Structure 1
């Protein structure tokens, strides 16, 4: 199992649609990555220094996040960067836990 440390520029005007798709379970039903993506995006953080969303995502694709990007991520984020391809999940989340939540930051300003 691989976990990716991800940074991306949110497309703010589209994020309310993404939040709705997460909330109504549409993304969670996508196979094989929906549940992992939902968990990652619901817990995503916001880095105010770079205006980027940051999260840790379980992924098995080569190249990393290929299916997730094609089906969801490229519609809502730009400049998606895999900072670290194989990060320990717990350690990764701890690295960003002090950052504000993505949804608290972007939905208020979208």
Structure 2
């Protein structure tokens, strides 16, 4: 299993994504729903770049293929896997000082 360090520019529909996460709809998607939900719940916002950043468990080749098709491409632009095999703990520590994505984007909406 690989952990991906992801950066993406939030689109204007993140409130809809938040509702889908809260309803459990995304968590129920197989095989990636639980991992994606955990990652997006903890996602951070980089105010210097305006990007969402998170660490995602992923088994796809190319990286995030299913996740992008089913969810991510609807809500984010310029999705970039910055690092394809990051240590999860170290990855989250690198962005721990950033504000939470949901507090940032939903407060601005």
CA distance in 1, matches of 2:17, 2:88: 23
Q: How many residues align?
A: 109
Q: How does 1:87-98 map to 2 (within 5 A)?
A: 87-98=86-97
User: TM-score, with normalisation over the residues of structure 1?
Assistant: 0.98
For 1:10 and 1:107, locate their aligned partners in 2 and report how far apart those are by CA, in whole Å: 11
Gap regions ≥5 residues in structure 1:
none
Extract structure 1 runs of 4+ deviating beyond 4 A.
Answer: none
Shift, 1:83, TM fit = 0.3
Q: In structure 1, the residue corresponding to 2:16 is in which secondary structure?
A: helix
In structure 2, the residue matched to 1:26 is 25
- What TM-score does the superposition give when structure 2 sets the normalisation length? 0.99
Tell me the C-alpha RMSD between the 2 structures. Answer: 0.4
Structure 2 runs not aligned, ≥5 long: none
